[in-house]
Every structure is written in C-alpha cells, then in structure tokens.
Amino acid sequence: MSRDFIRVLDTGTRRPDRIPECLDVRHQPALRRSPVEVDTTLVSELLSRRRHLVFYSRYAVQVVVDKKLIATADDHRLWAVGQKTATALEKNFAGPIQIPDDECFTGLRQALSQCDEALPIAAFGLLGTTRDLSSIAAQWGVDFTCIPVYQSVPVDAESLVRAFTAHRPHWITVTSSRGAHSIADALDAGTLRRLHTAGDLRFAAIGPSTAETMRELELDAAVVLQTPTRAGLLQSIADEG
C-alpha cells in the first residue's frame, strides 16, 4: 500500500512526540483521564514504612503531586516505568529514580524482580489496570498494594466521528483495550469492519493485550508492538506503508 502520505488517526491519550515524515497524523484521543478519590489514610499508613514506590505514568505522578499524597519520598525507593515518568518524579521528589532499561511495564517488572532490597511495594496508576507486581512481592514475602489515582473514560463520540470523517485515515492507532471499545462504540464497529475488510483501513495496536481486545471486537490489528511505545507504533505504520 504505497502512498505519498499515510493518514493516521492517533487515538492515544497523549499527543505523539515524534512523527515520521511520511505520516499525516491527526490526534484525537479515544479516552480522557481524570483523577479518582484516593484513600489518603491508606496512603499515609503505607508510607509509614520504607517501600518501593512505583509510578506507572506521568499522569499518576501529577495526580499524586496535585493531591499532596506524598510529602517526601526520602525514605523510599522510587521507580518509574520510563524516562518521561522519571522526569516528572525528579521535578517533585529528591533522590535517585530507578528506570528499567526496557522502558515498559514488563521491563520494570523484570528490573524490580532483580532488585537487591526486598521491600513492600506500592504502585500508583490507573483504575482497573492489569499491571500487577504481586508475584514479585510474594517471592519476597512482602505485600503489594496498587493505588488507583486516575481513570480513563471514553470521550464524547462526536469528537471521534468528526476527526474520523474529516481525516479519512488509512490507519487508526489503538493504545489500550478501553480505547478499542471507545473507538468501536463511537465509530460503529460494523462500519469499521467493512472498511477494514475492503482494505481501506488498518489498525495498529500498542501491545498484545490491546490486540486481543480488538480481535474480540473483530477489528484485527495489522501492527502489534511487542514493546509498547507511542513512537514505535507510528514508526511501525510508516514501515508498513
């Protein structure tokens, strides 16, 4: 499928940082983020003991800071899923930040499992996340607590419909299972299937679990990243053509 420019409807929550020159990208999130109520008493109790504090995203850091959930992190070991999350932490908390070489959740899990200090683990992230570090905690004989600090909810359908109609994309990026459902609901899964079958539309999934959800919706992904990154997702589309 050779084109001078490949039109992409990017539905990730964050605007992509780097766009290959051959792509014409329109950014329209399928989901919006919002903070959730947090049990501050629980957080205070958890922080009374030295822990590994894990942050799954920059937005999780932002909510923790905005809600003043952590006054100081000096007594704890801080972990970030990637450099951008680490940068957000460095702006607000002193001390070293641990970052996995492979900047994704699986890389973080592997790096944490190899840590030489078996501390209880508390992770700040998305409500309903499947990111689970309990197996590492069990190996160490300590507790793992996941603290949801924000949620992702579908945007209004009209925003997605307008972007899709105006841009007429050759590709749609899908960056989460929730996003897949939001896209299918807003744009009508039947219409998407027909365009996909006719070869006029293809999908790129940020990772295997997102691709599995898409298969359940009968929206097979032509590109599935094994190491989820936004830049890698767009580059893979550029390579596919």
Lowest mean pLDDT among 20-24, 103-107, 221-225: 103-107
Over 80: is that where the pLDDT of 112 sits? Answer: yes
pLDDT at 3: 54
Segment 56-104, tens digit of pLDDT: 999 999 999 999 999 899 999 999 999 999 999 999 998 899 999 988 8
Q: Write the DSSP symbol of residue 16.
A: P
Portion of the chain with pLDDT greater than 70, in percent: 99
- How would you label 51-74 residue by residue, b for 16+ Cβ within 10 Å and e otherwise? bbbbbbbbbbbbbbeeeebbeebe
63 vs 35: CA distance, rounded Å: 7
Please name the CATH architecture into which domain 34-152 falls. Answer: 3-Layer(aba) Sandwich (3.40)
Other C-beta atoms closer than 10 Å to the C-beta of 15 total 11
pLDDT for 230 beyond 90: no
What does the pLDDT average to over 230-240?
91
Q: Compute how many other C-beta atoms are within 10 angstroms of the C-beta atom of residue 168.
A: 11
- Do the two domains 6-30+155-240 and 34-152 of this chain adopt the same fold? yes
DSSP 8-state code for residue 95: S
Q: What is the rounded CA–CA span in Å between residue 42 and residue 173?
A: 37
| Contact partners, residue 175, CB within 8 Å, separation at least 6 | 11, 12, 13, 30, 206, 210, 230, 233
pLDDT number for residue 77: 96
Beta carbons within 8 Å of 206's beta carbon, 6+ residues apart: 12, 173, 174, 175, 176, 225, 228, 230, 233
The domains of the chain are located at 6-30+155-240, 34-152
6-30+155-240: in CATH 3.30.365.10:
no
4-7 contact pairs (CB < 8 A, 24+): 6/170, 6/171, 6/237, 6/238, 6/241, 7/167, 7/168, 7/169, 7/170, 7/171
